[in-house]
Chains A and B, each alone.
Chain A
């Protein structure tokens, strides 16, 4: 049984749900089984949004056994092979789902919670967030994804595609670049820009 679980997190409106949808559609494209629940509460309202992406594939010759193949919509604690966080604080908040071999891809641009705005709480420094995540797994990659999108495409619209390129580089994902790009071509306008953004993400992650 090949299993690969990705937890995507972010704030409402950042596109965490559509990022998960691309990764799931890529699985349908490759005839992989995929499942995963979403936390949509607070979408568009500064609320936390998560998407679980759980890939399953029988090994050649393997007979299905429900006790081994049963897969729920939620990744258990310590179960994520990869986390993609569109916001640095949310990466640490969802640290419970990581283990010592999980790969973390996190955007470095902080979105201030109301409690911080009100002066009631403090937003941890990026260094502290990175250090704490590093105690869970050594594979922590923090990138200026917002900044990359702004600089190269003069907009924040490519943030998710850049993150997908990074995920593809740091995986290995059970879905191919070709499938991801095919889905992007079907789902998003302006394929050429998105293809560049995907390549930029890959290149940045491998640099």
Chain B
């Protein structure tokens, strides 16, 4: 039984922040969910898809991109069904156009936009602070601090959305999305939400001329209505104290702050916990700041609450200093250590000895350890493709990077990757660059899911402008980097269901790409030849589709045990010239080095090897031996 489906009010389960958001939707009677997968919010979509059996009335989908996902949720809300759309912070850029109108149109049933933010950019190419969007989208923002609040605020967000006729944003950073702990369940609705019906509402839905001006005004008025009610909603909370230095905080920074104050022995500081960070209520901020010597705002990323609080206090004439980003960094992740350190500096308090000693010792003892960088998984087809690209070009080309597992080709041993910014920055930037550079080969990368997300318009442009480039579509059939959600090219799911994959070749032909070849990545020699051919074929867009399923998903589908392999690869120590092609240049983690009685050798760790065969194909000394065990017909596998 999926614990998120339990209808046991008061029961405590173990849940991830993302699970809590899923449960919040269930408790609010959600009927529609859409998302484009992105860390840290991916598990929300997986959560709803896993609940299809228990909640068959919920439509849940991985959409082609965030723009489409947001439109879908808006449509479902107009059908009179509570809807949720989830995305990572940069997905908001893609959905921004939709969501700039969603405040104008308002909602029919509650519409909640979940944004997983990534301070520290541990799984992203930027750490932008999406909260600023609300200054022009007019969408209220809830910032839960704990796993429990992640659920409770999600459920409440639907009510607020309907009461104020605005979509509501729930902003959860990765350290909440991926926090796992106790969650007390609430009740599930007794009656399943009925199917919806479209009702015409031309004043809100047709945004033209004066009508859009009226809707702009209505959206701003809705924010003001909510702003007035803030003190009655119980979302912001005062922890009273007699001290003269106050703190305002939100999100995961609130428990960080309380832990920091505890470690510093500060027990009397008043703390205002903000649950709704947009809009803020002037009276609430004023009554907190009044009589205090100064107020510190502790928030992650940029000074969004600080900015609003300063503005509100300025208008009210109160001159209590509000200090935020002058003290707490506007970039990177915050944690108890950083907050403790900055407060100690500001207030002239001594840092706890335990923390000082730990940091001094760690700096001295662990300062010089070899770093760990990401690497392709064992058996990953991208590793083989990148090896072939590096060997075919000698790195003498411009490499247009993009977003996906193959972004790891910027790291050693490949280092064949010249930029990465947003989705589809590869072909997009390349086709402009090529108008102004000459005589250089250009290889652009894109993964299957990234290509369908927003790559098609850029490629059409490249074709029409006759950009001289080789595009390699690394089609591994899954959105692998975010945890293996289905992509438009997924042909078989883990449970064996056959899908209807998009025909990439047909699509490419129809938009005018005449040079399309498929390569099998583990076939290194043939792949290298195909890459060289494509480069030599100069003029216009040439596409190579490197087609091979993600090794992890393939392994999960086939679920093979080590003893069941029929093929074995071994390194013959006498033939091996230690040329390092397999160990360093390919960098397969299953190839290892060990000391022997008379020196050292390379060997293949059998339990790790996934039998992709790339090393066997590339070895110039034929030192990697392939052995096939042939069993008699009808024999039972050992």
Contact = CB atoms under 8 A, between A and B. Distances in A.
Interface of A: 11, 20-21, 24-25, 27-28, 31, 33-42, 44-48, 54, 66-68, 70-74, 76-79, 89, 92-93, 95-100, 112-124, 132-133, 135-136, 156
B318 interface: no
Contacts, number: 181
A73 B252 CA distance: 8
Closest 9 interchain pairs by CB? A78-B358, A35-B181, A70-B258, A121-B370, A96-B362, A72-B255, A73-B179, A76-B336, A78-B354
Nearest to B43: A40
Contacts of B255: 70-73
Contact of B261 (A28, A44, A67, A132): A67
A70 B552 CA distance: 39
B125 interface: no
B185 to A, nearest CB: 12
B408 interface: yes
Given A71-B259, A77-B358, A118-B412, A21 B370 contact: no
A74 B263 CA distance: 14
Contacts of B178: 37-40, 73
Contacts of B354: 77-79, 99
A113 B373 contact: yes
Contact of B365 (A47, A48, A92): A92
Interface in B221-242: 239
Given A38-B178, A99-B354, A28 B370 contact: no
A98 B371 contact: no
Interface in B359-395: 359, 361-362, 365-366, 369-377
B98 to A, nearest CB: 29
Contact of B182 (A33, A68, A135): A33
A135 B358 CA distance: 11
Nearest to A78: B358
Interface string B594-638: 000000000000010000000000000000000000000000000
Given A72-B252, A72-B259, A117-B587, 8 more contacts: A47-B372, A54-B181, A66-B239, A72-B175, A73-B181, A97-B358, A98-B358, A114-B373
Contacts of A25: 14
B337 A115 contact: no
B372 A70 contact: no
A77 B359 contact: yes
Nearest to A98: B358
Contact of A67 (B176, B179, B258, B336): B258
B355 interface: yes
B589 interface: yes
A28 B262 contact: no
B584 interface: yes
Contacts of A72: 175, 252, 255-256, 259, 335-336
Nearest to B174: A37
Contacts of B592: 112
A46 B589 contact: yes
Interface of B: 12-14, 39, 122-123, 146-147, 175-176, 178-182, 239, 252, 254-256, 258-259, 261-263, 267, 335-337, 340, 352, 354-355, 357-359, 361-362, 365-366, 369-377, 408, 411-413, 552, 583-584, 587, 589, 592-593, 607
A44 B552 contact: yes
A124 B259 CA distance: 35
B584 A118 contact: yes
A25 to B, nearest CB: 5
B583 A73 contact: no
A58 to B, nearest CB: 13
Contact of B587 (A11, A67, A114, A136): A114
A113 B179 contact: no
15 contacts: A24-B14, A25-B14, A34-B182, A35-B180, A41-B123, A42-B374, A48-B372, A73-B181, A78-B354, A98-B358, A100-B357, A117-B584, A121-B370, A124-B369, A156-B607
Given A45-B374, A77-B359, A89-B370, A21 B267 contact: no
Most-contacted residue by chain B among A40, A74, A76, A93 (CB, 10 A): A76
Contacts of A21: 14, 180
Nearest to A100: B357
Contacts of A44: 377, 552
Contacts of B355: 76-78
Contacts of A122: 370
Contacts of B552: 44
A28 B587 contact: no
A20 B14 CA distance: 12
B607 A76 contact: no
A145 B113 CA distance: 45
Nearest to B254: A70
A73 B261 CA distance: 16
A11 B372 contact: yes
Contacts of A28: 12-14, 182
Contacts of B182: 27-28, 33-35
Contacts of A121: 370-371
A116 B413 CA distance: 12
B375 A114 contact: yes
A51 B335 CA distance: 15
A33 B13 CA distance: 10
A66 B593 CA distance: 53
Nearest to B268: A67
Given A66-B239, A70-B259, A74-B336, A95 B372 contact: no
Given A44-B377, A67-B258, A36 B181 contact: yes
A66 B181 contact: no
B239 A67 contact: yes
B337 A136 contact: no
Contacts of B262: 67-68, 70
Contact of B413 (A34, A42, A114): A114
A36 B168 CA distance: 27
Contacts of B371: 113, 115, 121
B172 to A, nearest CB: 12
A74 B14 CA distance: 17
Contact of B583 (A33, A66, A115, A117): A117
